[in-house]
Amino acid sequence: MSQVRVTPFGRTIECAEGEPILSAALSQGYFLRYGCKHGGCGTCKVLVTDGDLEDSGSSFALTRADRSAGWALACSSRPLSDCVIDISPMGLTEDEFLAGDQVETFETVIESIADLTPTIRGVTLRLVNPPQMRFTAGQFVNVEVPGTDNVRAFSMANAPSANSEIELIVRLFPGGQFSEYLKHASKGQLVRVSGPVGSLKMRLSYRKILMVAGGSGMAPLLSMLAALTQKKDRRPVTVIFGARTCEELYYIDRLKGLCDLSAQAEFVPVVEEAGHAWNGETGRVTDAIARRMGNLRGYDAYVCGPPPMVEAVRELVVRLGVREANVYFDAFVPTGAVEPSLTTG
Amino acid sequence: MSFTLEQIHDKTKSYDWPFTVGDSRPKHPTKYIIPPKGKDPFRMLVRDYMKMEAEKDDRTHGFLDAAIRMRTTEKADPRLMEVMKLTLPDFTNAEFQAVSAAGGIIASVQNQEIRQGYQAQMMDEIRHTQLETALRHYYVKHWEDPAGYDIGQKALYELPAGLVGVSAFLHFNTGDPIDCVMHLNVVLETAYTNILVVAVPQVAVANGESALASTFLSIQSDEARHMANGYGTLMAVLQDENNIPDCNRALERYFWINHRQLDALVGHQAEYGATIRPWCYRDQWEEWVGDDFVSSYMERLTDFGLQVPERVPKVAEDVTWLHHTTAMALAAIWPLNFWRTPIQGPKDFQWFEANYPGWYDIYGKFWEAHAQMAEPGSGQIMMQQLPSLPPLCQVCQLPCIMPRPDKPETRIFDYHGARIAVCSEGCEWVFRNWPAAYGGRKQFWSLYHGWDLADVITKLGLLREDGRTLVAQPGIGLKRMWTIDDIRRLNYEVKDPLQS
């Protein structure tokens, strides 16, 4: 048993051998911000000011520099000795910390499953109990894989105003638990989800907006774009959506439609392997950004997709003038080493 | 009838006391509807608050005593110390106007929680005024060139550089008391608090001066109280949706005005009154105003109907250049200042170009020419080289060459038979919506139209103790300082650009 002292609130969490800090905190009635619970998203980053931890989080959610600076992921860090952690960067009030986990569990039923591309499905879940969920565009839910003890994280793709349903974009992975489940799933089946979680959201700002998505990473950006349009937000938006081939792009009309509602929004699909019929941008999303955007000083950037894409875009947009603090991202990483499904971070 | 101690304690903490002694009628009318119960997150009685403040005072005065023995001013960068001759009186004036602002609010609202918060603030502002005056007294006695520190408050009200700040801080206690809160507590003390009382001492310490940091960090420790007053007041008035349009209008007005004047003056101090610049002013603004105020503080309030000011994108654009243009303008009219202008040289050019790409093309030649004219032997001042003096903005008092001298956005129009100049669309919007607040202001150039510059300087008392040497100088460490005779030989006549 190790004791983890939590500053700045001066409370102690008891961690059994091998127990991650996050699960110990939640089970003892404290709240720490968290997202995917498996080291993929970085929402539960804490600063370790004393003691030793074993951390099995993904290298993307926590860079080598982060680790050297003392950061750890509470969801996947197990104390090896008594520790002191600082959670002030989470921005929690003491009341929030002491209130415990407020994340709700919802019963939903499958409303529809659509083939968006050969490897991506659009899944709509209707909320049954409770019948509505209040969430912020950019957040995600943890979906229990029916018949297992595992959860998978997916961002909501619908606008928060449509709060009686949850629309998910799911990339299929061969052998992935949720992917396998979806093969045989049908309308009306019960699925339990918990949430909403995650800190990605559209920031109130005066800056122009650049959204960059790849693969199933379009989900949170789609939700944000819809929310922006509904609020009649006046900020200029450029949405860049990348895929390997034209067949892997989806929701094109829907995205164009949302962008058409605003005089200042532009939608730019990009494909790496374009056929003769394609007359849009080609190459990677970074190529399209470099070609079209020029100086990005005065922009906020939102980036969601596979980790290498997120990393490359982050680096590029900062080089082109976006302040590092104004790059907001979710890396969509597979869950688990053996049975990759998908998660958001 | 007797009460238990517990009952008295509960009553004290309920903040619903009736007016049994004081006059409950508001001294200053307000257009806002103010609910009787407040939203003050501190809820601390003045008597408890004062104990903390007394301790802070003791520490700060104690450090000044130590600073004398440590001879801190001998280690200070002259650039910092000279430009502080403008910046410190500006601060003291802001504090002084804020004393009156807090008094105005206390006398105008019936919400006891809000009144208690502002009584604490009023004491704070008095404390700040005293601390800054003590610091200036220390500089008068211990800085190598006290000329200018000794006339700061008077000069502020009489000279173009000073009138920028004076006209800014008048808003703290002029007009509707809740509008005053919007400028003082919400915009200045929340959006700009770190820029003012964290970055300024940071620059001071980086440039060798610790007494200022000790004073300002003591002041900074009170700002959370003042932010809470602003937040509490705002949350109280936002409870009534009839107040929302007025809140948004006030925020639009004061965010713009505050940007014009504060970004110009504080950016000038941070980058032109320093040799070591810890970080560039534009980055400070992005982090503390752009991210912390707009993206974080404002975000919480949009649910209650508050809107991000429309001109924030324009402010973000102008904040890159405004203080450079201000520094250039102040250097150009140096005889009418009350400090020695730090001449910017090649090392500075490098830093400016690295942090503000394109800086040299706009300002580099000016500073080279300024350096060439710095010694009295040159027989020239920059004012002679200008096609005309720039009009001063009727609203913010900055010279109408903003945001950049090569791209001025000046607007000139007639108002009640007088020609009015404003520096920007934002200032014109402010003027046209509140003409009574700005229409009657006399402009510096019009007061001295047709005067010989030497006579203006003499009239304003900008001479040192010998009666000949100017307080202001175009450089620090000149071989010889400019005298009134040097200026008289120039035969330079002040001409109001709006009359000529």
* Pick from B283, B294, B317: CB nearest A205: B294
CA distance A195 to chain B (A): 21
Q: Sorting pLDDT into bands at 50, 70 and 90, what band is B20?
A: confident
Distance between CA atoms of A241 and A249, rounded to whole angstroms? 8
Which residues of chain A does B299 touch, with a Cβ-Cβ cutoff of 8 Å? 203-204
Cβ separation of A206 and B294 shorter than 8 Å? yes
Instruction: State the best of A136, A206, A324 to mutate against chain B, taking most chain B CBs within 10 Å.
Output: A206
* Pick from B299, B313, B315: CB nearest A204: B299
Mean pLDDT check: name the lowest of A285-294, A323-332, B42-51, B353-362: B42-51
Cβ separation of A206 and B291 shorter than 8 Å? no
Distance between CA atoms of A266 and A270, rounded to whole angstroms? 13
Chain A CB within 8 Å of residue B313 CB = yes
Chain A CB within 8 Å of residue B291 CB = yes
Give yes or no for residue B490 having a pLDDT over 60: yes
Q: Do residues B364 and B110 make contact, with C-beta atoms less than 8 angstroms apart?
A: no
pLDDT of residue A345: 30
Cβ separation of A206 and B287 shorter than 8 Å? no
The 8 Å CB, 24+ separation contacts for B423-426 are B423/B260, B423/B393, B423/B395, B423/B396, B423/B398, B423/B399, B424/B260, B424/B318, B424/B393, B425/B314, B426/B256, B426/B260, B426/B311, B426/B314
Which residues of chain A does B302 touch, with a Cβ-Cβ cutoff of 8 Å? 204
pLDDT of residue A64: 75
Which residues of chain B does A203 touch, with a Cβ-Cβ cutoff of 8 Å? 295, 299
> Of chain B residues 376-405, which have a CB less than 8 A from chain A?
none
Mode of pairing for the β-strands spanning A281-282 and A265-271: parallel
Chain A CB within 8 Å of residue B298 CB = yes
- State the Cα angle at A8 between A6 and A14, rounded to 5°: 15
Region B325-346: what's the mean pLDDT? 98
Using CA coordinates, name the residue in chain A closest to B307: A204
pLDDT of residue A176: 85
CA distance B325 to chain A (A): 21
pLDDT of residue B43: 72
- The answer for B169, left when phi > 0, alpha when psi is -120 to 50, beta otherwise, is alpha
pLDDT of residue B299: 87
Cβ separation of B295 and A203 shorter than 8 Å? yes
Cβ separation of A203 and B299 shorter than 8 Å? yes
Cβ separation of B294 and A323 shorter than 8 Å? no
CA distance B259 to chain A (A): 15
* Chain length of chain B: 500
Chain B CB within 8 Å of residue A324 CB = no
Distance between CA atoms of B97 and B187, rounded to whole angstroms? 15
Chain B CB within 8 Å of residue A206 CB = yes
Q: Distance from first CA to last CA of chain A, Å, rounded?
A: 30
pLDDT digit string (tens) for B465-489? 999 999 999 999 999 999 999 999 9
Cβ separation of A206 and B317 shorter than 8 Å? no
Instruction: State the best of B252, B279, B285, B291 to mutate against chain A, taking most chain A CBs within 10 Å.
Output: B291
State the CB neighbour count (10 A cutoff) for residue B240.
Answer: 12
State the CB neighbour count (10 A cutoff) for residue B354.
Answer: 10
Contacts of A208 (CB under 8 A, 6+ apart): A235, A236, A237, A238, A298, A299, A300
Which residues of chain B does A206 touch, with a Cβ-Cβ cutoff of 8 Å? 290, 294, 308, 312-313, 315-316
Q: What is the torsion angle, in degrees rounded to the nearest 10, for the CA atoms of residue B300, residue B304, residue B306 and residue B307?
A: 70
Query: Higher confidence at residue B435 or residue B18?
Result: B435
Instruction: State the best of B256, B299, B320, B321 to mutate against chain A, taking most chain A CBs within 10 Å.
Output: B299
Alpha helices in chain A (DSSP H): 21-27, 64-68, 94-99, 177-184, 218-230, 252-260, 285-293, 307-319
pLDDT of residue B9: 80
The secondary element (H helix, E strand) that includes residue A192 is: strand A190-197
**Which three-class secondary structure string do you get for B365-379?**
HHHHHHHHCCCHHHC
Contacts of A287 (CB under 8 A, 6+ apart): A270, A281
Instruction: State the best of A205, A300, A320, A324 to mutate against chain B, taking most chain B CBs within 10 Å.
Output: A205
| pTM of the entire predicted model | 0.86
The secondary element (H helix, E strand) that includes residue B104 is: helix B78-106
pLDDT digit string (tens) for B372-389? 999 999 999 999 999 999
Query: Higher confidence at residue B411 or residue A92?
Result: B411
Q: What is the DSSP letter of A169?
A: E
CA distance B299 to chain A (A): 6
Question: What single string gives the DSSP state of each residue in B319-334?
Answer: TTTHHHHHHHHHHHTG
Closest C-alpha to A335, from A175, A181, A204: A175
Which residues of chain B does A323 touch, with a Cβ-Cβ cutoff of 8 Å? 283, 286
Kindly give the parts of chain A with pLDDT less than 70.
Answer: 57-60, 332-345
pLDDT of residue A60: 66
Chain B CB within 8 Å of residue A134 CB = no
Interface A-B: count of C-beta contacts within 8 A: 28
pLDDT of residue A42: 79
Is the ipTM, as predicted for this complex, more than 0.85? no
* Pick from A203, A298, A325: CB nearest B316: A298
Count CA atoms within 13 Å of residue A271 on its CB side: 16
- Dihedral sign of CA atoms A78, A83, A89, A94 in order: positive
CA distance B294 to chain A (A): 6
The secondary element (H helix, E strand) that includes residue A301 is: strand A299-305
Average pLDDT, chain B: 93
Using CA coordinates, name the residue in chain A closest to B291: A205
Q: Where are the beta strands (DSSP E) in A27-150?
A: 45-50, 53-55, 71-73, 77-79, 83-86, 104-117, 120-129, 140-144
Q: Do residues B457 and B487 make contact, with C-beta atoms less than 8 angstroms apart?
A: yes
pLDDT of residue B286: 95
pLDDT digit string (tens) for B154-212? 999 999 999 999 999 999 999 999 999 999 999 999 999 999 988 999 999 999 999 99
CA distance B354 to chain A (A): 13
* Pick from B302, B316, B317: CB nearest A204: B302
Closest C-alpha to A124, from A116, A113, A135: A113
Cβ separation of B295 and A205 shorter than 8 Å? yes
Cβ separation of B290 and A298 shorter than 8 Å? no
Closest C-alpha to A121, from A176, A170, A189, A187: A170
Chain B CB within 8 Å of residue A203 CB = yes
